Amino acid sequence: MRPKILLLPILLALALHAEAESTLKKNVLLLCIDDLRPELKSFGVDYIHSPNIDRLAASGRAFHRHYVNAPTCGASRYSLLTGQYGSSNNQALFARAKQLEASDASVTPSLPEWFRKNGYTTVSVGKVSHHPGGWGGEDWYDNNILEMPGAWDRQLMPTGQWRHPRGAMHSLADGEIRMGRSFTENKMDAFQSADVDDTSYHDGLIAEAGIHQLKDLAQSDTPFFLAIGLIKPHLPFGSPAKYMEPYRDSELPPIPYPEKPDWRTTWHKSGEFFGQYNHHEQDPRQNSDYADQVRRHYAACVTYADKLVGDILESLEASGKADETIVVLWGDHGWNLGEHAIWGKHNLFEEALRSPLIISLPRMEQAGQKTDAIVETTDIFPTLCELNGLPVPDFVHGESLLPILEDASASGHPAYSYYKNAKTIRTETHRFTLHEDGYAELYDHTSPLKETQNIAEQNPQLVKTYKQLLLQESSLHQTN
C-alpha cells in the first residue's frame, strides 16, 4: 500500500514541474527587415521617423552595436536561422538543404526546427530565409525545392500583382517587377514615391498575411514561433508617397567619409545599385543633390516598413498574446549610403555589418535602456532558447544575450564577420580585417578617423594579437 500513498505527491510534483516548464514557453514574434541600417530615432538618428520601432525599443532592449556575420542577405540569414557561422554565399541555406537531402548527419536543426521539435507551431511569412516564401526553382516558387526543410509548419509569400516571389522581391508599385534573366534588361528606376496605399507596394501584402497568421495562431494554446520578413528598404527604394512627406524638404546630415579608400579594402563598385537600376545618367558619387534624393527615398522606405511593424505590433496587442510573446526585430545587415563611396552592402566596413537588433520581453526589467555591448547575429538562437526554457544546443556558435537583457550594462563579446576572401572582427576599440593572402586592415574606433585610416603597418604587435583572435573565431567557421 505504501507505493500508492506516495503516488499522489509524485504526480502532483510532475504536474507542477510541467506547469512551470510551460510557463517558460513564450511565443516568439521575429520581425526581419531587409537592408535596414541602424538609422532610427531610437538608435540616435533624429531625422528618421520610426515611431513604431522606437516604441518597441522603449519596451525592450535595443542593441546599438549588433553586427551581422555576413553583409549579404542569404549568408546573414543563414547565421540567424542556424546559429552558426557559414558560407558567405547567398545560397548557403540551399546548400544546407542539399546536405539534408543527402542525409548528411553533420547538418544540425535550424532555429525554427528546434522550436518546432520542442512543441511550437512555426510559421514564416515573407522574406525570412533568402528567398521570400522559402522555395527555390524558377521565380522562386517551385514547391519541390525547399530552402529550409523541416523548419516551418506553414510558410507563405503573397505575390499579388507581382505574380511570383522573385517579382515581389525586386518591385515597385502596382505590380512592376524587375525584368530580364540577368536583371539588367528593362531596368526599373532605383527609387519611386507613388501616391498609392500600403498594399500597392508589396510589403503591405506581407504585413497583411503576417497579421492574419498572428490572429490565427493566437487562438491556439500551443506556443508559436512566427517570423515575418519585410523586404523594404531593399532596392528599389519605392514606398507610398505619404512616407516621403517628412523628408521632402528636410536637411540631411552630410555623408561621412564619402571618398573611396586609397588603400586596399573590401571596397567594390556598387554593381547592384548602378548596374541593375535606372539612374537616368545621375551619379550620387558626383552629384550631392542626387545623393540626397536617394537617401530621402531610402528613409521613406524605412518609415514605410516602420508603419507596417506598427500594424503587426498593434495586432499582437489586440490578440491578447502580447504578455506571452517575445518580440525580436532584426536587420539582416546594413547598407552603405555613400560612405567610402559605396552604395550597397557586400563589404566589411562598419556600415554594411552593423544593423538594428531589438529584443522586447513581457514585463521586462530595465525596459527602454539601450546597450552598447557588442553582439552578433549568431547570439539570437541561444538567447531565444534560454528565454523559453529550451535546451541550448551545443552546436550554436553564439552566446546567450540573457545577461544583457537582465542588465543593460553587461558586457558583450567580439563580433566575427566574413565575406568572400576576407574576415573581420569587431571589438570595443578596433576593427581588424584579414584578407586571404595575409593583407591586414586595422581601424581604431576610439579615434575620430575610425575606418578612414588603416593603422596596421604602424601597429604590428596589435595586428598579431588581433590575427590570433580572428583565427580563433574563424576556426569554428572552418569546422562547420
Is 301 a catalytic site residue? no
| Full DSSP string of 245-264 | GGGTTPPPPPPSS-SPPSS-
Dihedrals phi, psi of 37, to nearest 5 degrees: -70, 160
In terms of Cα–Cα distance, which of 152, 294, 161, 278 is closest to 225?
A: 152
Contact partners, residue 16, CB within 8 Å, separation at least 6: none
**Cα dihedral 444, 449, 451, 455 in deg (nearest 10):** -50
20/110 Cα distance (integer angstroms): 26
Catalytic member of 49, 130, 202, 340: 130
Which three three-digit cell numbers place residue 335? 547598407
- H or E element that contains 234: none
Q: How far apart are the first and last CA of the chain?
A: 56
C-alpha of 243 from chain center: 22
458/121 Cα distance (integer angstroms): 55
Catalytic member of 32, 73, 301, 385: 73
Is 130 a catalytic site residue? yes
- Angle 35-36-40 from CA coordinates, rounded to 5°: 165
Q: Are 385 and 411 in contact (CB under 8 A)?
A: no
In terms of Cα–Cα distance, which of 169, 190, 173 is closest to 74?
A: 169
336/270 Cα distance (integer angstroms): 9
Residues forming the active site = 73, 130
